[in-house]
Amino acid sequence: MLLDTAPIEHLSGAWGPMGALAGSDGCARHPHLRALRGGSLPRRDIADAVHHVARLHGRHPGLVEYAAAHARRPVECDWLEAAAEAFVGERAYLVRLVAAAGPLPSTPGHAESEAAAASQRHALDMLAQSDRAGCATGAAVALAIDWVAMRAVLDCAATSFGLEPAPARLPIPEETVSVVDALVREAAHERAMLFGAQQVFAQHRGLWDLLEARASARSRG
């Protein structure tokens, strides 16, 4: 089903602590992401964002596929299977955007940025492969939540590069809410899901912090 790219704040009350965590820790309100989504930054900053999002989530297998391999309950298996299938299209979209963006913009301190990006990828891989019941699914849920805002940036990039934005097909927010609601009946499972989600939100905020710092370094250079 098509992803509803509208903000998810109106759903936060429907899924308790996960919704509250998404509202406080999700990347949608990050100032650099908002500036990119608003089209107020140079093309080189847009290209930089495309390259780094692709580095984090353009690989196969990725976070959702790893999480699907660690799911145990039918409801999370079904949701993760649908999300993994949708991410096939998202990765193809990222490939097109990276090609249209051209080379990674030259930036002072590039080696340090590379190390930070590699650390983020490693952290996400570890979360998605956690054997703690609920942790990997919580990580995937956080990606689905944050992907709404990230996808808006990618669509702005497509328009900037002269491409037609591709339709997104991740599970719609209402389906994600239903899955979360079904899985949080046990306190231990809920805690693990929230932990996985919290860590992914932190890594995504770190991504936009890194992109903001790189943009600032280029402007000073």
pLDDT digits (tens, 9 = 90+) for 129-160: 999 999 999 999 999 999 999 999 999 999 99
d(CA 138, CA 198): 8
d(CA 169, CA 148): 11
Mean pLDDT of the chain: 89
Place 221 in a pLDDT band, splitting at 50, 70 and 90: low
Q: Give residue 182's pLDDT.
A: 81
For residue 205, being part of any structural domain is answered with: yes
How many CA atoms within 13 Å lie on the side-chain side of 210?
A: 24
Q: Which two tokens stand for residue 129?
A: 């492969």
For residue 7, being part of any structural domain is answered with: no
For residue 68, being part of any structural domain is answered with: yes
Tell me the average pLDDT across 19-38: 92
Q: Give residue 31's pLDDT.
A: 97
Name the more confident of 48 and 71.
48
For residue 14, being part of any structural domain is answered with: no
- The letter for the amino acid at 181 is D
Q: How many CB atoms lie within 10 A of CB 111?
A: 7
Residue 128 structural domain: 31-220
For residue 19, being part of any structural domain is answered with: no
Place 15 in a pLDDT band, splitting at 50, 70 and 90: low
Q: What is the domain-level CATH number for residue 101?
A: 1.20.910
Tell me the average pLDDT across 25-35: 95
d(CA 162, CA 140): 31
- Is the pLDDT at 110 greater than 90? The verdict is no
For residue 11, being part of any structural domain is answered with: no
Give 221's DSSP letter.
-
Domain count, the chain: 1
Q: Give residue 135's pLDDT.
A: 95
Nearest to 90 by CA among 50, 49, 129, 57: 57
Q: How far is CA 21 from CA 5, 13, 138, 201, in A?
A: 19, 11, 11, 9
Name the more confident of 125 and 169.
125
For residue 196, being part of any structural domain is answered with: yes
- Is the pLDDT at 12 greater than 60? The verdict is no
For residue 162, being part of any structural domain is answered with: yes
- Is the pLDDT at 40 greater than 70? The verdict is yes
Decide: pTM greater than 0.75. yes
Tell me the average pLDDT across 58-76: 93
Matching residue, tokens 């790219």: 5
